Amino acid sequence: MKHICIYFQIHHSFHFQTFRFLDVGIAKSYYDAYRNDREIYETANNFYLPTNKFLHKLIDDSGGKLKITFHISGPSIDQFLLYSPEVINSFRQLADSGQVEFTGGTNSHSIVSLTNDKQEFRQQILLGKERTEHFLGQKPKLFVNTDLIYTNQVAETVSETGYKMLLTNGAGKILHWRSPNRLYCDQTHKNLRILFRNEPISNELAENIEKHQFQPQSAHLEQFLSSVNTLQADDPFVNIYLNYRHLGGDEMNAKQKYFRSFISKILNDEVFCFSLPSELIEKFGPVAEIGTETPVCWCEHFHPSYFPGNELQQEAIRQLFRLKRRLEQSSDPYLNNDWQNLQTSDHFHLMDENHPMYHTSDLDQSNCKSKYDAFINFMNILEDFTERLKHEKSETTKQSFGSQQIHSKNNNN
């Protein structure tokens, strides 16, 4: 029997507003609160809440045979709590079915794993694990890095934080001739199991759902199922990893009808069953060791060799993490919160000319019209952040000096 693991990713960044150089030092907020509020409200009502009800019914109708895994990023949890807390309750109700598993990740959907800052990466992983357990009610067993980034260095840090398995993208640059439908272990940390997203099957299912005009019994669905059926005879499972928003929004009923038909056909086929990732590593052992020094990733709309990125992205990342030592001396919760949100990968995706927003009507609603706008806006915010760090250090020094004077005066008396 072949096991199918379906994963849904949910991620929303805190959008930054336009921040000009003249705004540096005037205590202007970095965040586009209206856009963040509107986006979460719309996605909660048009995507997550109705789709969670849909999946809950599918699970009930399946008699417990349907199992689903969710990766919900830290910034998404933060914004659900701020703007639509009923979404968190809805996911916890799904988890109560016993057929849903939540993965762990970095606390702020951080890009830190592309740097050498192992300490920050470790802290991001541990914070992410704590928040998933606290807000979603499960201690995560599977680690899913930001954008599914994987390198040997990532594996080392993830293993040290206690995770026993990790999911990344099944790109040819790491698998070569190997199958993504097998279990592997890291070549150095052999206790860490590596699962791979099946790239062609995941992409094809996402595309088919979006082309919701296809009738459930159409040749398109049959053709897709045949591609699943053509897995190698000894491939024990397939990991299908999608953006959750594919199931909602425009023509939601038609999309969900297609997905329901897909699930039904799988359930009625004696060759397949649905499983959770934690069940896979209990049932199967690794077939080989695997590793890579260059990043493998999955960023929707971008290629698997997207990172380490272009010159603008690399420079922005370098300048951001140069501030880490200064931040360690800060006790300001607002600075620490902004530090988390500055690390979110979406800000760096905007620094790529191939970002889909630059080629759609969404550009009219954006404060960035090109990768250069995104880079300049981010660097202006970073300059303001640096000034705030300097100011806090200066104030701390003054207070310390004043305390020393008072202490000295009291001793003299």
319-371 confidence digits (pLDDT tens) = 999 999 889 888 899 999 999 999 999 999 999 998 888 877 565 566 788 99
Does residue 316 share a domain with residue 283?
Answer: no
Same domain, 315 and 285: no
33 touches 241 (CB < 8 A): no
For residue 101, list its beta bridge partners. Answer: 69
Does 282 map to a domain?
A: yes
Q: Do 389 and 272 belong together in one domain?
A: no
Q: Kindly state the average pLDDT of the residues 305-316.
A: 92
d(CA 173, CA 185): 17
Instruction: Say which residues have a Cβ less than 8 Å from residue 31's Cβ, sequence separation at least 6.
Output: 14, 15, 16, 17, 341
pLDDT in tens, 59-117: 999 998 999 999 999 999 999 999 999 999 999 999 999 999 999 999 999 999 999 99
Same domain (yes/no): 18, 111: yes
Is-contact 351 378, C-beta < 8 A? yes
Are both 199 and 324 inside the same structural domain? no
Does residue 121 sit in the same domain as residue 182? Answer: yes
Query: Is 114:317 a contact under the CB 8 Å cutoff?
Result: yes
Per the structure block, which two tokens stand in for 113? Answer: 């794993």
Instruction: Evaluate whether 44 touches 87 at the Cβ level (below 8 Å).
Output: yes
Residue 301 domain flag = no
- 224 with 318, same domain? no
Q: Residue 19: left if φ>0, alpha if ψ -120 to 50, beta else—which one?
A: beta
Average pLDDT (385-393) is: 89
| Residue 234 lies inside a defined structural domain of this protein | yes
- Tokens representing residue 171 in the block: 């790109």
Nearest to 112, CA basis, from 338, 375, 310, 344:
344
> What pLDDT, on a 0 to 100 scale, did the predictor assign at position 396?
58
Domain count, the chain: 2
Distance of CA 143 to CAs 128, 272, 277, 293, Å?
A: 10, 25, 10, 19
Domain span at residue 336 reads 311-398
Considering the entire predicted model, what is its pTM?
0.91
Three-state SS string over 282-351 comes to: HHCCCCCEECCCCCECCCCCCCCCCCCCCHHHHHHHHHHHCCHHHHHCCCCHHHHHHHHHHCECHHHHCC
**Peptide bond between residue 216 and the one before it cis (omega within 30 degrees of 0):** no
The pLDDT of residue 302: 85
Are both 342 and 223 inside the same structural domain?
A: no
User: Is the predicted pLDDT of residue 406 greater than 60, yes or no?
Assistant: no
